[in-house]
Structure 1
Amino acid sequence: MKLSAFLMYCLVNQPAIQNFTWIRNVTPASSFQFPLITEACYLCIIFFLSRVFRLRVPPAVLKPIAALYNTVILFLSFIMALGCTLSTISHAPDVHWMICLPPNTPPSGPVFFWAYIFYLSKILEFVDTLLILLSGSIQRLTLLHVSHHVVVINMCYVWLWTSQSLFPVVLVTNASVHVLMYAYYLLCALGVRPKWKRLVTTCQIAQFRASFGALALMLGYHVSGPGCSGVWGWILNFLFYAWLLFHFLSFREQAYKSKFEQK
């Protein structure tokens, strides 16, 4: 069997993927309460580990755990990006569909399967925060870090709930950036300090800027045609991306200003 055919079967045509349907209150983790309870537990863990217990794991123990975790997320991000790309290519009738899903599109099929996996993966990424807390580096636990993890779960839930337009493009872009980001984290956990940290930040900023352009294109399709599915959900996305872009631009300026001045 050719590699392309093997990948298409495993990531697109496998029956569980091909026949996937997201049904609220039926599909696991699909109730309104689930993301809210998950986020509340996440915030409680942060409070207790940062204010009450203050556990600290020795670097000799924590680094192998961090390396394993970063390897898992890196691989998962790559699979999600590849799976959603292949699913979109094989199921999208045209480029317009990738930007603007028809109104009342049901959340079913391979593309929505990967949206569901992406949604669940954001819960797994809470381990990022746990590793920070266990390392004792509380100063790295910023408002941006915590709020990003909390809001992104709601955003991904809305993707599924509203069959939101444009999510395949956002998913592939975000997962691809995460491949680069977690590759950097993995090398750091292995004791290697790559010189392309700034590249990670630049790619993240480019992702957010591109999202605004894609959103404008989707709104153009929505106004000039029969409409796009899940447009109201993009209100959350727009505010979220604008907030993230502002903070990432501020971070880049603060992080690299001194280096620039030294040259």
Structure 2
Amino acid sequence: MTFLQYWLVNHPTIVNFSWTQGQTPGSSPLFLTLTVISYLSITCLLTHLHLPPIKPNLLKLITVVHNIVLLVLSLIMAVGCILSTLLHPPHLHWIICIPPQTPPTGPLFFWAYVFYLSKILEFLDTLLIILSGSIKRLTFLHVYHHSTVVIMCYIWLHTSQSLFPAVLMTNASVHVLMYTYYLSCALGLRPRWKRLVTECQILQFKYSFLAMAVMLWFHFTGLGCSGIWGWCFNIVFYASLLVLFVDFHAKNYGGSKSIKVCDLDKRP
């Protein structure tokens, strides 16, 4: 525990982290805007070009490495955020409600920053789909999710938004499951729990609404919670994703309403 505590919470780089707009790499509105526009433009361009085929073995190697990196990174972010939540903030209720005027500094916001950068790295998911020739898998849900979640993570940092630790821990944990599945597929295995990965995401969104309601209760019955306007963006984003994932689930799994397995298929 001491080893993990130092490297994931108390390391000087983590403890002394500070998000400063215009100074921290990737913190400017211009960077965010150009990143999202570039992702959408390149995705649109590549889907209309006839790219030369990549050797299957090379594509498999790239896919395996990509999934291993994101699997390990997701696990580190989940553990890092959990330990930071338990050991760093003065009160555990920071997981739901961060006090107003809290500056985006320290371990919790360091992991929010890593999570933000990881969402840009996940743009490679889209490129791998295109290179594999499986354009049909490149759904509106996939592109919308990848492009908008980056904006959400930026708002977390820019507003010191409450509730992000809970969302980060949950989402990173589900991504460990998701990239384990994709890694298995890239290695030639076909786990029977593919469906396990959209329904967990659906559950995540549903429980997020409950957590957001609890945050509102803290906000209006106490001294307030930080990042309330970011909360407004999140609830609209989560609602839209929930609708899209439920629709995807219905089309791919016969519309079953019972959740027996967990399926976060970001690359449907």
Change (3 A) 1:151 1:258: closer
Whether the aligned pair in 1 keeps the contact of 2:249 and 2:255 (CA below 8 Å) is: no
How far apart are 1:201 and its partner, in Å? 1.4
Whether the aligned pair in 1 keeps the contact of 2:85 and 2:94 (CA below 8 Å) is: no
Q: Name the counterpart of 1:217.
A: 214
1:156 aligns with 2:153: yes
Q: Name the counterpart of 2:174.
A: 177
Percent identity for Structure 1 against Structure 2: 59
Q: What letter corresponds to residue 192 of structure 1 in structure 2?
A: L
Distance in 2, matches of 1:146 and 1:55, equals 23
Cα RMSD, aligned residues only: 1.4
Which among 74, 77, 95 is matched to residue 77 of structure 1? 74
Paired residues, what number?
257
Structure 1 counterpart SS, 2:28: coil
1:253 aligns with 2:253: no
Structure 1 ranges of 4+ moved more than 4 A: none
Distance in 2, matches of 1:53 and 1:112, equals 42
Q: Name the counterpart of 1:124.
A: 121
Whether the aligned pair in 2 keeps the contact of 1:55 and 1:136 (CA below 8 Å) is: no
Whether the aligned pair in 2 keeps the contact of 1:77 and 1:175 (CA below 8 Å) is: yes
Distance in 1, matches of 2:159 and 2:100, equals 10
Q: Name the counterpart of 2:108.
A: 111
Q: Could you state the TM-score of these two structures normalised by the residue count of structure 2?
A: 0.93
Q: More helix per residue: 1 or 2? A: 1
Which among 51, 73, 95 is matched to residue 48 of structure 2? 51
Distance in 2, matches of 1:87 and 1:56, equals 45
Structure 1 counterpart SS, 2:126: helix
Q: What letter corresponds to residue 3 of structure 2 in structure 1?
A: F
Whether the aligned pair in 1 keeps the contact of 2:85 and 2:92 (CA below 8 Å) is: no
How far apart are 1:145 and its partner, in Å? 0.5
How far apart are 1:51 and its partner, in Å? 0.9
Once the two structures are superposed, residues 173-229 of structure 1 have per-residue CA deviations (whole angstroms, 9 ceiling, x without a partner) of 000000000000000000000000111112111111110000000001101111100
Which among 190, 193, 212 is matched to residue 193 of structure 1? 190
How far apart are 1:144 and its partner, in Å? 0.7
Once the two structures are superposed, residues 32-54 of structure 1 have per-residue CA deviations (whole angstroms, 9 ceiling, x without a partner) of 11111011111221122111343
Distance in 2, matches of 1:32 and 1:259, equals 41
Q: What letter corresponds to residue 126 of structure 1 in structure 2?
A: F
Which among 11, 29, 41 is matched to residue 26 of structure 2? 29
Whether the aligned pair in 2 keeps the contact of 1:205 and 1:248 (CA below 8 Å) is: yes
Structure 1 counterpart SS, 2:223: coil
Distance in 2, matches of 1:122 and 1:56, equals 27
Distance in 2, matches of 1:231 and 1:258, equals 35
Alignment of 1:15-26 (within 5 A): 15-26=12-23
Which sections of structure 2, spanning at least 5 residues, go unmatched? Answer: 258-268
How far apart are 1:93 and its partner, in Å? 2.7
Q: What letter corresponds to residue 221 of structure 1 in structure 2?
A: F
Q: What letter corresponds to residue 182 of structure 1 in structure 2?
A: Y
Structure 2 counterpart SS, 1:48: helix
Structure 2 counterpart SS, 1:196: coil
Q: What letter corresponds to residue 181 of structure 2 in structure 1?
A: Y
Whether the aligned pair in 2 keeps the contact of 1:48 and 1:54 (CA below 8 Å) is: no
Which sections of structure 1, spanning at least 5 residues, go unmatched? Answer: none
Whether the aligned pair in 2 keeps the contact of 1:24 and 1:31 (CA below 8 Å) is: yes
How far apart are 1:111 and its partner, in Å? 0.5
Q: What letter corresponds to residue 204 of structure 2 in structure 1?
A: Q
Distance in 2, matches of 1:199 and 1:55, equals 34
Q: Name the counterpart of 1:133.
A: 130
Q: Name the counterpart of 2:241.
A: 244
Q: Name the counterpart of 2:4.
A: 7
Q: Name the counterpart of 2:92.
A: 95
How far apart are 1:239 and its partner, in Å? 0.9
Once the two structures are superposed, residues 90-149 of structure 1 have per-residue CA deviations (whole angstroms, 9 ceiling, x without a partner) of 023333221110000000000000000000000000000000011111111111101111
Q: Could you state the TM-score of these two structures normalised by the residue count of structure 1?
A: 0.95
Distance in 2, matches of 1:18 and 1:259, equals 46
Distance in 2, matches of 1:252 and 1:35, equals 31
